[in-house]
Amino acid sequence: MAKKVTKIGVLTSGGDAPGMNAAIRAVVRTALYHDVEVYGILRGYSGMVENDMIKMDSKSVSKIIQLGGTVLKTARCKEFYEPEGRAKAYNNLKKHGIDGLVVIGGDGSFKGAQQFSNEFDIPCIGLPGTIDKDIAGTDFTIGFDTAVNTAVEAIDKIRDTMEAHNRLFVVEVMGRDAGYIALHSGMATGAENILIPERKANLPELIQSLSQAEKNKKYVNLIVVTEGDEYGGADGISNYLRLSLPGADIRTAILGHIQRGGSPTANDRIIASRMGYHAVQCLLEGRYNVMVGIVNDEMRYTPLDKAVKAKQSINDEWLQIVEALH
């Protein structure tokens, strides 16, 4: 695939993340700067299959950098999983003359992009748009910083009422298979315990720690847990604690989808803008089928299949810091 890309399609797929609009804006305006036409594909891969695409100009992305969500909408498309659906999507791209794609999403979106590019002559560039930060090849993903700050703001407010009533609070944050939001938000809010999928929880040890705290008349305790925790998230942990600590005033808070929304932080806007710019540069320079990431503040290009297969691993230093500071 050494041919010159002349028209670019951009889509957002999977879960939405704050900063996606900043990435869309950067892709559109960088493409136009190089006199390359760009089309917005609505509702992710569904828009490719259903030929739901719009030609974009500079005004199309005016005043969206500060908005959460995605102006292109997002969806999960079962039809794209099938060869017939992907062939249909390819034919629709050809109708518009689109010969390069920028896919903003997580590893599921990248798997689809990699398979599509392998089957057809459409080079794809991936931008890591996921609040979970569970993609290898980049220090941060678009939306992660905003999600953490949203969680921190909510947990700080919970701690106020927790302190007033001498309560033990179990707060659940998003993250499914990745504990980065829990780790960062828990550390930033001084959580006494942080439970993440990457490290098996020792509940008897947790009970012992909380019992000792109770003996020391430390009734206020904050536990931050990832939704993908093996014991069933906040509800599962809370039920276990109630059986073992009948005298404790235990409350549960599930932050849920508020972590996905809201105006992106400055950091997410800047990361998304840099990544969007370099995505277009990759297509124009013939660097195909890679994910654009940032490592040590420098651009890093990871083959899509490696970004899909590899996961970020949590540094032991983080866990040691949590242990020392709790």
Q: What is the CATH number of the domain that holds 245?
A: 3.40.50.460
Helix (H, G, I), strand (E, B) or coil at 292: strand
Domain count, the chain: 2
The answer as to whether 276 is a domain residue is yes
The answer as to whether 139 is a domain residue is yes
58-106 residue pLDDT tens:
999 999 999 999 999 998 889 999 999 999 999 999 999 999 999 999 9
Residues 171, 225 share a domain: yes
The residue assigned the tokens 């195909």 is 288
C-alpha distances out from residue 104 to 11, 20, 32, 45, 208, Å: 6, 7, 19, 11, 45
The answer as to whether 323 is a domain residue is no
4-47 residue pLDDT tens:
899 999 999 999 999 999 999 999 999 999 999 999 999 999 99
Cα first-last separation, the chain: 53
User: For a pLDDT cut of 70, what percent of the chain falls above it?
Assistant: 95
The answer as to whether 210 is a domain residue is yes
The answer as to whether 56 is a domain residue is yes
Reply yes or no on whether 132 is catalytic: yes
CB 180 within 8 A of CB 143: no
- Higher pLDDT among residues 312 and 188, named by residue: 188
CA 197, CA 249: separation in Å to the nearest integer?
26
Alpha helices in 178-298 (DSSP H): 180-188, 203-215, 233-244, 266-285
CB 159 within 8 A of CB 253: no
CB 177 within 8 A of CB 134: yes
Residues 178, 30 share a domain: no
The answer as to whether 30 is a domain residue is yes
Catalytic residue among 132, 134, 145, 268: 132
Residues 155, 244 share a domain: yes
Question: Looking at the predicted structure, is the pLDDT value of residue 129 above 70?
Answer: yes
- The partner residues of 73 in beta bridges, in order of sequence, read none
Question: Looking at the predicted structure, is the pLDDT value of residue 280 above 90?
Answer: yes
CA 70, CA 105: separation in Å to the nearest integer?
11
Residues 171, 108 share a domain: no
233-271 residue pLDDT tens:
899 999 989 988 888 889 999 999 999 999 999 999 999
Residues 275, 256 share a domain: no
Residue range(s) defining the domain that contains residue 204: 145-260
Residues 133, 19 share a domain: yes
The answer as to whether 153 is a domain residue is yes
Model pLDDT, residue 216: 60
CB 15 within 8 A of CB 178: no
Residues 151, 120 share a domain: no
C-alpha distances out from residue 196 to 65, 128, 157, 259, 308, Å: 32, 21, 22, 17, 21
Nearest-5° angle of CA 134, CA 135, CA 136? 125
Residues 205, 130 share a domain: no
Question: Looking at the predicted structure, is the pLDDT value of residue 164 above 50?
Answer: yes
Question: Looking at the predicted structure, is the pLDDT value of residue 310 above 70?
Answer: no
Model pLDDT, residue 1: 45
Residue 276 belongs to domain with CATH number: 3.40.50.450
The answer as to whether 284 is a domain residue is yes
Residues 292, 271 share a domain: yes
CA 43, CA 53: separation in Å to the nearest integer?
9
Residues 122, 156 share a domain: no
Residues 243, 279 share a domain: no
User: What is this structure's pTM?
Assistant: 0.93
- Higher pLDDT among residues 314 and 180, named by residue: 180
